[in-house]
Amino acid sequence: MIYNFKQLVLAIILHIYEEENSMAFTEDLLLPSRGIIYQLPEFNGIVKVKPFTTKAYKDLLTANASEAGLKQFVDTCLVDCPVKAKNMNQHDFLAVLFKIRAITLGNILRTQTTCPECGHTEDIERDLNDIEVNYLYADNYPISIKLPKSGMDIKVRLATGADVAKAKQEADRRSAIFKKPASEFLTTYTIVSLLDVGNKDIIEKAEWFETLSPQDAIFINGVLTKLTDAFGVKLLHEDKCAACDKIYSSSIDIWGDFFRPDADISLGITSKAGNLAGPIEKPDISE
């Protein structure tokens, strides 16, 4: 293969980065769920994370930072992980993203916030190592609950990526059969995918759920909401406006420039205005 100069330089840079990162260090990360929700033998919820490579970042950009592309990107940074990124709970996935960013580009993230009161915009530095995380603890999992109206005992689980994908697949299938929007099925299938009700499959559970009393259905929704809110990475932060002193909440955007290197480079050189004949010296008129 014949390279032009630009391609040759890029190939050398990629080779150096890949060589360095093939021997790159890893850091342990305890997932917010502590691995409990995956119910895998001998998995204690600790995953090994390594920095991302230039190639992985280039592939992410090629995929236009799509959800699928982002999950493939994360998989390249997990070492011998028993859970694929696509099957992770959203809180665990987010924690991994933060860890990847911190160990590759540094723990300081420069963000920009805008005060909703006065519109003042300012730059704020976030230390990713100081991001608050709530960890999940459960003596028995799945969690047993008793429905208030029927008195029925069922078990509930937290959503993994696999659960979400299964619910969407089934909703799409039902949509094609009944010629209705998939959204009409998705909410119910998402809920019932997290319920253990005897030996019922997802279709049978959906039919069972729709025959429940409103009290039982609302109770199940409330339990799932509490479980989801009980753990995870805390994205919201309180900031004080430098202009009007108002306290407001802001969230870290993981799409924008979250994975883009941002380095200040000083070359120690200057330039002078001129044309093809050379620099134009400004006359000294101080005398």
Three-class DSSP labels, the chain:
CCCCHHHHHHHHHHHHHHHHHHCCCCEEEECCCCCHHHCCCCCCCEEEECCCCHHHHHHHHHCCCCHHHHHHHHHCCEECCCCCHHHCCHHHHHHHHHHHHHHHHCCEEEEEEECCCCCCEEEEEEEHHHCCEECCCCCCCCEEEECCCCCCEEEECCCCHHHHHHHHHHHHHHHHHHCCCCHHHHHHHHHHCCEECCCCCHHHHHHHHHCCCHHHHHHHHHHHHHHHHCCEECCEEEEECCCCCCEEEEECCCCCCCCCCCCCCCCCCCCCCEECCEECCCCCCCC
Residue 98 sits in the same domain as residue 151: no
Of 181, 213, 229, which one is at a domain's C-terminal end? 229
Largest CA distance in the chain: 98
The answer, yes or no, to whether residue 140 has pLDDT greater than 50, is yes
Query: CA 174, CA 54: separation in Å to the nearest integer?
Result: 42
Of 194, 229, 264, which one is at a domain's C-terminal end? 229
Q: Are 211 and 202 in contact (CB under 8 A)?
A: no
Per-residue pLDDT tens over the stretch 227-274: 999 999 988 888 888 999 999 888 887 766 788 876 667 777 877 778
Residue 9 sits in the same domain as residue 125: yes
Residue 54 sits in the same domain as residue 99: yes
Residue 9 sits in the same domain as residue 123: yes
Of 179, 206, 229, which one is at a domain's C-terminal end? 229
- pTM of the full structure: 0.81
pLDDT of residue 13: 58
Q: For the chain, give the percent of residues with pLDDT over 90.
A: 54
pLDDT of residue 285: 59
The answer, yes or no, to whether residue 22 has pLDDT greater than 60, is no
pLDDT of residue 256: 63
Per-residue pLDDT tens over the stretch 49-100: 999 998 998 888 888 778 899 999 999 999 999 999 999 999 999 999 999 9
Q: Which amino acid is at 240?
A: K
Per-residue pLDDT tens over the stretch 158-207: 999 999 999 999 999 999 999 999 999 999 999 999 999 988 999 999 99
**Residue 168: inside a domain:** yes
**Residue 135: inside a domain:** no
Q: Over the range 146-164, which residues count as b (16 or more CB within 10 Å of their CB) and which as e?
A: ebeeeeeebebbbbbbbbb
Domain coverage including residue 181: 143-229
Residue 122 sits in the same domain as residue 34: yes
Q: Tell me the pLDDT of the chain averaged across its residues.
A: 87
For residue 194, give the CATH number of its domain: 3.30.2220
pLDDT of residue 252: 82
The encoded tokens of residue 194 equal: 């997290």
Residue 100 sits in the same domain as residue 164: no
Residue 121 sits in the same domain as residue 150: no
- Tally of domains within the chain: 2
Confidence band, pLDDT 50/70/90 cuts, at residue 1: very low
